Structure 1
Amino acid sequence: MSSPTSPPPIRRPRSTRATRARILDAALRELGRRPDSSLGDIAVAAGVARRTVYTHFAGRAALVEGLAEDAAEAIRRAIAEAGTPVGGPASALAHFVLTLWPVGDRYRTLTALAPQDLGPGRTSGLLAPARETAAGILAEGQRRASSTPSSRPARSAAPSRAICWHSSAPSPPAPGPTTARASPSPP
Structure 2
Amino acid sequence: MSESRGLTQTRDRILDVAIETLGLNPDAGMAEVAAAAGVVRRTVYGYFPTRAELVHALTERAVTEIAGVLTASTSSDRAADEEWADFIARLWPLVHRYRVLVALRRGEFGKDIHALLGPVETMLADLVQRGQDQEVFGRHLPADVLSQVAWSAVFAIADNDVSGTSFGVAAPTVTSLLMLGVPEPRALTLAERRP
Normalising to structure 1: TM-score of the pair?
0.67
CA distance in 2, matches of 1:96, 1:71: 15
Partner residue of 1:141?
Answer: 131
Partner residue of 1:81?
Answer: 72
1:22 to 13, 20, 40: 13
Contact residue 23 and residue 97 of structure 2 kept, 8 A: no
Q: How does 1:119-138 map to 2 (within 5 A)?
A: 119=110, 121-138=111-128
Alpha-carbon distance change, 19 to 117 in structure 1, aligned in 2, over 3 angstroms: farther
Cα offsets for 1:125-182 (capped at 9, x unmatched): 2332332222222222222239xxxxxxxx931266562463799xxxxxxxxxxxxx
Instruction: Find out whether 1:63 has 2:50 as its counterpart.
Output: no
2:101 to 102, 110, 115: 110
User: Secondary structure of 2:76's match?
Assistant: coil
Q: Structure 1 counterpart of 2:135, which letter?
A: A
Q: CA shift at 1:87, angstroms?
A: 2.2
User: Secondary structure of 1:111's match?
Assistant: helix
Q: CA shift at 1:16, angstroms?
A: 0.6
Q: Structure 2 counterpart of 1:125, which letter?
A: A
CA distance in 2, matches of 1:164, 1:83: 15
Of structures 1 and 2, the one with the larger relative CO (CA 8 A, separation 6+) is: 2
Structural RMSD (CA): 3.2
User: Secondary structure of 2:128's match?
Assistant: helix
User: Secondary structure of 1:135's match?
Assistant: helix
Q: Unpaired segments of 5 or more residues in structure 1?
A: 1-10, 147-154, 170-187
Cα offsets for 1:1-37 (capped at 9, x unmatched): xxxxxxxxxx976711110111111111111212222
Paired residue total: 153
CA distance in 2, matches of 1:167, 1:127: 15
CA distance in 1, matches of 2:124, 2:96: 18
Q: Structure 1 counterpart of 2:140, which letter?
A: A
Q: Structure 1 counterpart of 2:45, which letter?
A: Y
